[in-house]
Amino acid sequence: MNDAPNAELIASAAGVLKPHTVPRYGEHLVRDGEQHGRRMGHVGCTLVTAAGNRYSGVCIDLGGGICAEHATIAAMVTAGEYQIAKIVAVWRDEDGTLYVLPPCGRCREFIRQVDPANINTHVVTGSDSVRSLRELLPLHE
């Protein structure tokens, strides 16, 4: 299922973007005329499994936070799947420009640990580019 078109997965990840801010525990969202709090939903992710199923999720910034890839993989694991064929994460700036984001180091390691076969996961790094997790996670063995 690595043949899922990049553009299709990018559009799917962009479709779950719903950036918003929530108050920090015990605080008000607006203070002194300015917005404070934790950002959520500003990064979206979609993956396709080896079985061809798709899952999506968003980031939840609560300090240490949960990356969009973690949320998406959690949905996949909840459904009983572990092998990721292809994955993409995106972010949109204030001007509306959409960016494809490579997974952070923590996410790269998480993808690998969910299933050893995921070292061959295709990571979308742009509309016309894909890298294997093996390439993005050197010295993984």
The pLDDT tens digits for 81-127 are 999 999 999 999 999 999 999 999 999 999 999 999 999 999 999 99
pLDDT reported for residue 40: 86
Residue 26: is its pLDDT beyond 60? no
Pairwise pLDDT comparison (60 vs 64), residue with the higher score: 60
Residue 25's pLDDT band (boundaries 50, 70, 90)? low
How far is Cα 133 from Cα 115, in angstroms, rounded to an integer? 12
Residues 135 and 102 sit within 8 Å (Cβ to Cβ): no
Residue ranges and CATH numbers for the domains of the chain are 6-136 (3.40.140.10)
